[in-house]
Amino acid sequence: IFGPRIKAPLVLKFCLLFPPPASATRVSDRRMAAVEAMTQGADNKRRKVAEGAVDQRLAKLGLSLPVAAAPAANYVPFTRSGRTVYISGQLPKKDDGALLKGKLGSDGPDKCSVEDGQAAARWCAIHLLSQMRAACGGDLDRVTRVSKVEAFVNSTPDFTDHPKVVNGCSDLLVEVLGPEVGSHARFAVGCSSLPLGAAVEVGATVEIAEDA
């Protein structure tokens, strides 16, 4: 049924006497070229991610985003449903780990000026961007819309400049992501205290592009 067996030396001799045709070699060369093109395309894609428009704006602003902050309690930094990403509240922690604390409107030892509050809100925006980057697999150009910003300001009952304080966050988001993507709906409210005595806490809801 299977016919006579051919000894290996005879097969080797046959291959030496009758090498594969040039067309087969050309097919192999084309396959190798296709693999190289795919590899080069992947390299170009990674380079594009590294040099995206948002990263270029960050570089011009002299900003370097920190690693996305880990949660401090029983929650996750963000969740995703389809293209919508819900980012947990971010605290104003500086690069050296120092937390910007204080109470807006206070005249006591915890006094925090509007300018200091704006600086705190700006740091919250930086951490929001870090979480966006993590949600987008490192490519902030995939953020298509900041839908909403939710800001809480640690303040006294008679303090009323919450919007000015939160502008520190909103302004940076628009500056980094551009007005079409970074402009957003928001609320800015006062509260009697925030975790760890932070001056500001900000969360956000954003839309991102589909996975590539």
Residue 35 pLDDT greater than 80, yes or no? no
Of 70, 57, 90, nearest to 169 by C-alpha is 90
| Full strand arrangement of the beta sheet holding 143-154 | 78-81, 84-90, 200-208, 143-154, 185-191
205/129 Cα distance (integer angstroms): 12
Residue 43: the pLDDT is 46
Residue 13 pLDDT greater than 90, yes or no? no
Residue 49: the pLDDT is 45
Task: Measure the CA angle with vertex 99, ends 101 and 55; round to 5°.
Answer: 125
Residue 29: the pLDDT is 59
Residue 61 pLDDT greater than 70, yes or no? yes
Q: Note whether 88 and 94 are within 8 A (CB).
A: no
Q: Note whether 188 and 165 are within 8 A (CB).
A: yes
Residue 4 pLDDT greater than 70, yes or no? no
**184-202: average pLDDT:** 97
Q: Note whether 167 and 93 are within 8 A (CB).
A: no
Q: H-type helices in the chain, by residue range?
A: 8-17, 22-50, 53-60, 114-135, 162-177, 179-182
Name the least confident of 12-16, 64-68, 207-211.
12-16
Sign of CA dihedral 25, 26, 31, 35: positive
Residue 75 pLDDT greater than 80, yes or no? yes
Residue 18: the pLDDT is 56
Sign of CA dihedral 147, 208, 123, 79: positive
154 CB neighbour count, 10 Å cutoff = 27
**192-207: average pLDDT:** 97
174/163 Cα distance (integer angstroms): 15
Residue 211: the pLDDT is 75
Residue 39: the pLDDT is 46
**177-184: average pLDDT:** 97
* Integer angstrom CA distances of residue 89 from 131, 154, 164: 10, 14, 19
Residue 210: the pLDDT is 86
pLDDT in tens, 95-153: 999 999 999 999 999 999 999 999 999 999 999 999 999 999 999 999 999 999 999 99
Residue 50 pLDDT greater than 60, yes or no? no
